[in-house]
Amino acid sequence: MPGFELFGEEERQAINEIFDNAGGIVFAHGFDAMRNGIYKVREFERGFAAKMGVGYAQAVSSGTAAIKVGLQSLGIGSGDEVITQAFTFVATVEAIKETGAVPVIVDVNETLNMDPDTLRTAITSRTKAIVPVHMMGECAEMDEILAIARENNLLVMEDAAQALGASYHGRLAGTIGDVGAYSTDAGKTLNTGEGGLVVTNDERRFIMARAYHDHGHEYSNVKGRGEEGALCYGFNHRMTEMQGAVGIAQLAKLDLIVRTQRRNKGMLMERLQSLPVAFRKSPDPAGDLADTLVFYLPDRERTAAFVAGIRSNGLGTKNLPDAIGWHFSKHWKHFMNDHPLYSGRTESAWAKSADLLERSIAIPIMVKMDDARIDRIASTLLAISREVL
Ligand SMILES: Cc1ncc(COP(=O)(O)O)c(C=O)c1O
């Protein structure tokens, strides 16, 4: 999955160029006379927008920031409700809270993404936006979600942090709704250490995202930074030139990453045809980013026994179940106690999600997995299943 597997000379060269040719200017703006025309973050943004086929990309300091900046660009604020899903990284809900809006958290279904039926029942007169999250490389059921959004006049921001490179019926994850947010942190498809991007085709929203991520700066073509006015209240969520440089080098590897993961997952799936489990439901198998293989076991007891078998054979799982605490709202009591809807009931609020997630096992698919490794993972999983199931 992660771009870090492919770190190489290209990333090193990209960083060195800042010091060799750009006067060591590591700030993305200004210093025009000293930097020899080299603006890494801007180049990364242009390249990313072109690769994603969108009008605009705004690079920011993290995926969490990308969600918040994206929501700000949609005009979300206090008094609004924003619907997202129970299975996501905690950052999605943190970012919604940071805007002042109330996060409304709905169940996932067998896709492990937002359940459109539950989404429908959660809409109120205060709902302003929906944030479907494309978890573990698979897109949410966007046709259904977009139809519900249209019927109810709601905005859609995709959290595509875990799905950079995935697609849904030919459209790339993150480019389907009004705004999309990506992460380029150390575990994601592209790795800039920390980082993220907001994309949109709507110039107005882009201008607001750009302003908000940088203290409100208007980004004038004629005034210097110091003389610029502010378009809105803002914050500092800027990306540095070092991140931009690494991002450019990583972006050039995106096709290779996606292609190789798909090959590796395909090979593993072929070898697991006889595994007696239910595999995660995919709304569009051809668009799977293929960085994770998820399956459900019949009950929690056998899931625990299966996971113990995986560990004792020296293999790993990916977030399910090892980091479920960070990815399932049931566990976020540290900030849910003041929540108007879920205070005191996080244990029971998402029974359907709990049933699915607590029977799920996720196996990471890496770029650098040779055939022998794929064979070993398959034969190990088959052997464990013979013992446990
Ligand atoms: C679904 C999801 N949203 C948001 C984020 C936040 O991204 P970052 O770590 O870059 O802040 C992550 C990171 O793991 C994520 O998985």
Calculate how far, in angstroms, residue 120's C-alpha sits from the geometric centre of ligand 1: 25
Partners of residue 197 on adjacent β-strands: 59, 182
Is the predicted pLDDT of residue 3 greater than 90, yes or no?
no
141 pLDDT tier (thresholds 50, 70, 90)? very high
Q: What is the mean pLDDT of the chain?
A: 97
The torsion angle over the Cα atoms of residues 312, 316, 319 and 321, rounded to 10 degrees, is -20
Report which ligand 1 atom has the smallest distance to the Cα of 183.
10
Give pLDDT tens digits for 360-376: 999 999 999 999 999 99
The one-letter amino acid at 169: H
What was the pLDDT predicted at 44? 98
Q: Can the peptide bond before residue 276 be classed as cis, meaning omega within 30 degrees of 0?
A: no
Q: Which residue's alpha carbon is at the smallest distance from atom 16 of ligand 1? A: 89
Calculate how far, in angstroms, residue 184's C-alpha sits from the geometric centre of ligand 1: 8
Is the predicted pLDDT of residue 4 greater than 90, yes or no?
no
- CA distance linking residue 339 with residue 205, whole number of Å: 29
Q: Which residue's alpha carbon is at the smallest distance from atom 14 of ligand 1? A: 89
Percent of the chain with pLDDT over 70: 100
Ligand 1 contact, 254 CB (< 6 A): no
Residue 387's CB is within 10 A of a number of other CB atoms, namely 9
Q: Which two tokens stand for residue 288?
A: 């799977």
Interhelix angle 254-271/371-388, nearest 10 degrees: 40
Is the predicted pLDDT of residue 1 greater than 60, yes or no?
no
Report which ligand 1 atom has the smallest distance to the Cα of 64.
11
Ligand 1 contact, 91 CB (< 6 A): yes
Residue pair 160/180 in contact by the 8 Å Cβ criterion: yes
Ligand 1 contact, 89 CB (< 6 A): yes
Give pLDDT tens digits for 73-120: 999 999 999 999 999 999 999 999 999 999 999 999 999 999 999 999
Residue 281 DSSP one-character state: P
What was the pLDDT predicted at 195? 98
Give pLDDT tens digits for 223-270: 999 999 999 999 999 999 999 999 999 999 999 999 999 999 999 999
- CA distance linking residue 253 with residue 3, whole number of Å: 8
- CA distance linking residue 239 with residue 197, whole number of Å: 9
H/E element, 182: strand 179-183
Give pLDDT tens digits for 274-300: 999 999 999 999 999 999 999 999 999
- CA distance linking residue 299 with residue 297, whole number of Å: 6
Ligand 1 contact, 165 CB (< 6 A): no
Report which ligand 1 atom has the smallest distance to the Cα of 62.
10
Residue pair 199/49 in contact by the 8 Å Cβ criterion: yes
Q: Which residue's alpha carbon is at the smallest distance from atom 8 of ligand 1? A: 63
What was the pLDDT predicted at 289? 98
